[in-house]
Amino acid sequence: MDEHDHASDAAEDFYIEGAEDENEFDGDEGDHANVPEGVYKVLYEFDPVSEHELAVQPGDVVHVVGSLEGGWAIAVTNGDEGVKGLVPATYLEWSAPLPE
């Protein structure tokens, strides 16, 4: 599976059932996160407001496995074994590539 397929699979986990307009969830057209996969440090506290979002605290370390339009990163806590959810991309600082 190539890098694009992995990100596509991760994004499919966050399909919002019943959303008529993809921008309803993803944000405005052209507002792409384009967050490279990698290990990131969380800069700010984020409290989720939907079941698809991930609660994080400053100093937490997450693995970003993809991104969605609207400025969202698809993040996993505790590596591949953790909880997956959306975090605002602007709340993250790149630290290192994903471990192999």
Provide the residue range defining the domain that includes 58.
3-96
**Number of domains present in the structure of the chain:** 1
Please report, for the domain that includes residue 43, its CATH number: 2.30.30.40
Average pLDDT of the chain, as a whole number: 78
Instruction: Count other Cβ atoms within 10 Å, centred on residue 9.
Output: 13
Asked if pLDDT for residue 22 goes beyond 50, the answer is no
In whole angstroms, what is the distance from residue 12 CA to residue 24 CA? 16
Asked if pLDDT for residue 8 goes beyond 70, the answer is no
46-77 pLDDT, tens digit each: 999 999 999 999 999 999 999 999 999 999 99
Q: Which residue has the tokens 């400025």?
A: 71
